[in-house]
Amino acid sequence: MNTIAAKNLHSLRTLTFNIFRYDPKRPEVKPRMDSYQLEEADAMTLFIALNELRETQDPTLQFDFVCRAGICGSSGMLINGVPKLACRVLTKDLPATISLAPLPGFELIGDLSVNTGKWMRGMSERLETWIHTSEQEPDFHKIEQPMEPELSEKLYELERCVECGVCFSACGTAQMRPNFAGAVGLNQMARFQLDPRDERTDADFYEVIGDENGVFGCMTLLGCDDLCPKELPLAQQIAYMRRKMAKTRKGLF
């Protein structure tokens, strides 16, 4: 065995997982924390560890995954009190005792699984996060107007959001105001405000996000910006939309 392999083998640990357990379908069973132990493997992610726990120790353990690569946004959870994606967190970067809990702010499905999709859909319908045009029936055969590469890159940057819910769970405002649009919603509004194909005016956007549940409710605690797994400029987009909406309000009133 070479020196590097021997060093890696020696550094692997026995991990202790304290995992939140509760099934809303069985309200008679109170919420609890269950403990499990697992031998650490080289390059192990929390997603890999949870799968091994479910396969070898407890098949009832509930958590979410799809792509396993930080693209779908399904594996969000509280990891030692911090919202992150389990598939992007290596166990070697954590202490030997790891506490896992569901993301706050979302409907609990069971254990570590929450219904982010229900909240995201409700937010999208409330904010109408799609391109608005005056065309009654769009002509799908018509060639679109060309877009400047710089603008296209700005739109693409904001489109990288995977709607994982991490920013929402990290947001102090969202935990106090259940109707707050959150960084994910305000980021989407910034994206459509930039899009030249969207015919809404700033006054139209103000009607949707120009209040305490929108850009003026953000307390600028920067939890969204610090913890976004895609490193999106969320605080920057909120500040941008707040300035736009402040100017719009001044013009309206």
Q: What is the pLDDT of residues 87-96, one digit of tens each?
A: 999 999 999 9
HEC profile for the chain? CCHHHHHHHHHCCEEEEEEEECCCCCCCCCCEEEEEEEECCCCCEHHHHHHHHHHHCCCCCCCCCCCCCCCCCCCEEEECCEEEEHHHCEHHHCCCEEEEECCCCCCEEECCEECHHHHHHHHHHHHCCCCCCCCCCCCCCCCCCCCCHHHHHHHHHHHCCCCCCHHHHCCHHHHHCCCCCHHHHHHHHHHHHHCCCCCCCHHHHHHHHCCCCCCCCCCCCCHHHHHCCCCCCHHHHHHHHHHHHHHHHHHHC
Average pLDDT over residues 136-160: 88
Q: How far apart are CA 170 and CA 183, in angstroms?
A: 10
Q: Please tell me the predicted confidence (pLDDT) of residue 8.
A: 53
One domain for residues 77 and 198: no
Q: Please tell me the predicted confidence (pLDDT) of residue 2.
A: 53
> pTM for the complete prediction?
0.89
7 occurs within a structural domain: no
Q: How many domains does the chain have?
A: 2
One domain for residues 170 and 211: yes
Q: Which two tokens stand for residue 105?
A: 């702010």
Q: Please tell me the predicted confidence (pLDDT) of residue 89.
A: 96
Average pLDDT over residues 223-230: 95
Phi and psi torsions of 34, nearest 5°: -105, 145
- 191-217 pLDDT, tens digit per residue, is 999 999 999 999 999 999 999 999 999
Q: How far apart are CA 167 and CA 170, in angstroms?
A: 5
One domain for residues 212 and 96: no
One domain for residues 197 and 222: yes
Q: How far apart are the first and last CA of the chain?
A: 75
143 occurs within a structural domain: no
One domain for residues 44 and 71: yes
163 occurs within a structural domain: yes
Q: Which two tokens stand for residue 6?
A: 């021997």
One domain for residues 185 and 64: no
Q: How far apart are CA 95 and CA 87, in angstroms?
A: 17
pLDDT band at 16 (very low <50, low <70, confident <90, very high): very high
Q: Please tell me the predicted confidence (pLDDT) of residue 68.
A: 81
One domain for residues 182 and 95: no
Q: How far apart are CA 58 and CA 13, in angstroms?
A: 21
CATH code of the domain covering residue 172: 1.10.1060.10
Question: In whole angstroms, how far apart are CA 193 and each of 3, 153, 241?
Answer: 56, 15, 9
One domain for residues 71 and 83: yes
Average pLDDT of the chain is 92
- 100-128 pLDDT, tens digit per residue, is 999 999 999 999 999 999 999 999 999 99
Inter-residue contact 76 to 85 (CB < 8 Å): yes
One domain for residues 213 and 167: yes
Full domain range(s) for residue 29: 14-114
